[in-house]
Amino acid sequence: MKFHRFLLASCTALFLFTGTPVPSVSTATAAETEDAAAKEAVGLVEKMGKEAVALLSRQDLDDQAKRVGFKSLIDRDFDMKLIGRFVLGKYWRKATKEQQTEYLVLFNDYIVTTYQKRIGEYSGENLKIAKATRLNKKETLVKSEIIRPKGPAINLDWRVRISKSGEYRIIDIIVENVSMLLTHREEFSAVVSKNNGDVEGLLVKLRDHLAKINAN
Amino acid sequence: MSSSKFRSSLLGGCLLLSSFGLLGGCATPPGEDPNAVVYTEVSDPIEPLNRYFFDVNNALDAIALKPVAHIYRDALPDGVQDSVRNFLDNLAQPFNFLNNVAQGDFDGAGDNMGAFFTNTLLGIGGLFDVAQIDTDDEDLGQTMAVWGVPEGPYLVLPILGPNTTREAAGLVGEYFLDPVNLIAANNDISNVALYRGGANAIDFRARSITDLDEIEKNSIDFYAAIRSLYRQNRKNLILDGDVETTPLPDISFDFDDDAPKSSDRVSLLFQEDESSVKKTTSSSN
């Protein structure tokens, strides 16, 4: 069932892939990676995958240590500032400098905690990178599949973009054609508009949410 | 209530399978400008009312549906659950067939027919999926989209859950058009659609307990998260199949209000950013 697959994946996409038990990350065939950019992008996704697998399957680390490692992986391979700004949408410019700074910190924590939640809950999944397509001169879409022991594969696309400093960074994960970036964005703007367009309301909500999650 | 009605309930259109079938001739709905096939901003003019019914539905879910789904999931053997799923899927095939025909997807329609007859005859009335054909679920809302009917505002229906105006209209039509319901009605078997709807709801809910819980726990606005997931998924169901033209979300730099208005073009996504970011920095300083 498509939607079920998508649901399953949508809340778990990131960790599924970063998730502990992804046993191997297979290589894309060279013929399918058209050019250097595509190669770079595929390399990034693969590296991220391998390192996350290595990190999360380590027995000698506790959850806290894994989280720190996970966070640094995300910081390194995802363009969190760009993602954060996109997710806040038009409200980014309405926020004060201080609000923007705090928001980015909170957003980062939110992403890390949200996507780390399910780490370790999955087993037997296997990430298979299919191919990379150039979207424009800055972006490449890396297509991959999560092969599951039971049930049909889940399509997982990674949007990779060259950052201003010339590095390749992941900016979106698209599960069964559903964009995580967009989902967070609509959620966040809903919170801000419920608070009459005041970003402070979102910050409060995020603080509460993180406090609640961390308390558990 | 048709099964699709209920499927669309809860999480909305949830069990509706992908429309790979659209591959055939209608990868892009003819009524929509291909360039406009990017995901558009949400239209939710009656959000307060929708939020109200969303809460009501969640409350109903918590007291009625979720507990049943829990028992169903935990108490019944996997094989039984699979057979229920197969049986319900099989019942949906005649209507999938009609929709595929209406959408001009004759390959998909052929698959529907093949799966239906094979599973009905060899799979003991559809309890076993002998055909193993990966057919896509279709519904009237998707067919209308292919015909160019616009999505319309977002709508949360009591009990039936997330919808858009177009899908809601489709549900009404399905109630009257689904061959299985018609045949049942003709033979004076009452409430077939209701039972089907109920069974589909329990089946869906049982398989999504963990996922929905997780989404609810991790979201800061459950309503908005579901709304976004629902609409993106619907879009995907309608357009799916042609992977290369899969619309990527519109990631223009519209957080820079003064960015070039390229927001409705898919592939321009971030191209403009260098200049617009500079502009932003200079204008905001």
DSSP one-letter code for B260: -
d(C-alpha B107, C-alpha A123), whole Å? 36
Contacts of A203 in chain B (CB under 8 A): none
Q: What are the b/e assignments for B162-177, b being 16+ CB within 10 Å? A: bbbbbbbbbbebbbee
Q: Check B249 against A92: CB less than 8 A apart.
A: no
> Residues A17, A52: contact at Cβ < 8 Å?
yes
CB–CB of B111/B133 below 8 Å? yes
Residues of A in contact with B211 (CB under 8 A): 4, 7-8, 10-12
CB-based contact B42 A186, cutoff 8 Å: yes
**Cβ separation A164–B277 shorter than 8 A:** yes
Condensed to tens digits (0 to 9), the pLDDT of residues B28-64 reads: 444 444 333 445 677 899 999 999 999 999 999 999 9
In sequence order, what E strands does chain A have? 25-26, 126-134, 139-147, 154-162, 168-175, 178-179
Alpha-carbon distances, residue A101 vs A76, A97, A190, A203, B280 (angstroms): 18, 6, 20, 11, 17
| Alpha-carbon gap: A84 to the closest alpha carbon of chain B (Å) | 11
Average pLDDT over residues B216-233: 91
Distance (Å, rounded) from C-alpha A34 to C-alpha A46? 16
Q: What share of chain B is helix, strand, coil (3-state, %, to 5)?
A: 60, 5, 35
Mean pLDDT (chain A, rounded): 79
DSSP string computed for B46-72: THHHHHHHHHHHHHHIIIIIHHHHHHH
Domain boundaries, chain A: 27-215
CB contacts of B220 in chain A (<8 Å) are 110, 187-188, 191, 202, 205-206, 209
- How many inter-chain contacts (A to B, CB under 8 Å) are there? 151
Q: How confident is the model at residue A117, as a pLDDT?
A: 64
| Number of C-beta neighbours around residue B206 at 10 A | 21
Substitution target in B228, B243, B253 with the highest count of A β-carbons within 10 Å is: B228
A206: chain B residues, CB-CB within 8 Å? 220
**pLDDT of A49 over the 90 cut:** no
Give the chain A residue whose CA is nearest to the CA of B285. Answer: A97
Q: Which two tokens stand for residue A199?
A: 């970003």
Q: Is the pLDDT higher at A149 or at B126? A: B126
With CB atoms and an 8 Å threshold, state whether B15 touches A4: yes
Helix, strand, coil fractions of chain A, as percent rounded to 5: 55, 20, 25
Tell me the pLDDT tens digit for each residue of B175-221.
889 999 889 988 888 888 889 999 999 999 998 998 899 889 889 99
With CB atoms and an 8 Å threshold, state whether B221 touches A190. yes
pLDDT above 80: residue B142: yes
Residue B221 to residue A92, Cβ atoms within 8 A: no
| Chain A nearest-CA residue for B138 | A2
Q: Residue A176: what pLDDT?
A: 83
Determine whether the interchain pair A136/B232 forms a contact, defined as Cβ–Cβ distance below 8 Å: no
CATH match of A27-215 with 3.10.450.710: yes
**B281 CB-contact burial (10 Å; exposed 0-12 / middle 13-18 / buried 19+):** exposed
Of the candidates A4, A91, A185, the beta carbon closest to that of B208 is on: A4
Q: Which residue has the higher pLDDT, A35 or A86?
A: A86
Q: Exposed/middle/buried for B182, CB within 10 Å: 0-12, 13-18, 19+?
A: middle
How far is residue B115 CA from its own chain's centroid?
A: 21
pLDDT band at A118 (very low <50, low <70, confident <90, very high): low
In whole numbers, what is the pLDDT of chain B averaged over residues? 75
Statement: residue B73 has pLDDT above 90: yes
Asked whether the predicted pLDDT for residue B285 surpasses 50, the reply is: no
Please name the member of A88, A93, A181 whose beta carbon is closest to the beta carbon of B257: A93
B254 chain-A contacts, CB cut-off 8 A: 89-90
What are the C-alpha distances in Å from B278 to residues A85, A170, B166, B274, B285?
Answer: 15, 22, 42, 6, 11
Residue keyed to tokens 């698959």 = B111
How far is the alpha carbon of A42 from chain B, nearest alpha carbon, in Å?
18
Which residue in chain B is spatially nearest to A216 when comparing CA positions?
B217
Work out the percent of chain B whose per-residue pLDDT is above 70.
70
CB contact under 8 A, A89 and B134: no
Percent of chain B with pLDDT over 90: 46
User: What is the structure's pLDDT at A216?
Assistant: 67
Identify from A121, A176, A186, A214 which residue to disrupt to test chain B contact, counting B C-beta atoms within 10 A and taking the largest count: A186
Residue A211 φ/ψ, nearest 5 degrees = -60, -45
Q: What is the pLDDT of residues A53-72, one digit of tens each?
A: 777 767 787 778 888 888 99
Cα distances from A66 to residues A19, A47, A105, A109, in angstroms, run 11, 17, 19, 14
Question: What is the residue type of B220?
Answer: I
Determine the residue of chain A that is closest to B277 in CA distance.
A164
Residues of chain A neighbouring B129 (CB-CB closer than 8 A): none
Residue with tokens 């200079």: B282
Please report residues of A whose CB lies closer than 8 A to that of B252.
Answer: none
Mean predicted confidence (pLDDT) in B16-25: 31
Tell me the chain B residues in contact with residue A182 when contact means C-beta distances shorter than 8 Å.
39, 228, 232, 249
The ipTM assigned to this model is 0.79
Beta bridge partners of B157: B161
Counting every residue written for chain A, the total comes to 216
pLDDT surpassing 50 at residue B8: no
Closest CB from B13, B204, B221 relative to A187: B221
pLDDT computed for residue B26 by the predictor: 36
- pLDDT at site A164: 79
In terms of average pLDDT, the best of A128-132, B65-69, B247-251 is B65-69
Residue of A11, A85, A139 with shortest CB distance to B255 = A85
Is the Cα torsion angle A163, A169, A171, A177 positive or negative in sign? Answer: positive
- Residue B35 CA to residue B41 CA, distance in Å, equals 15
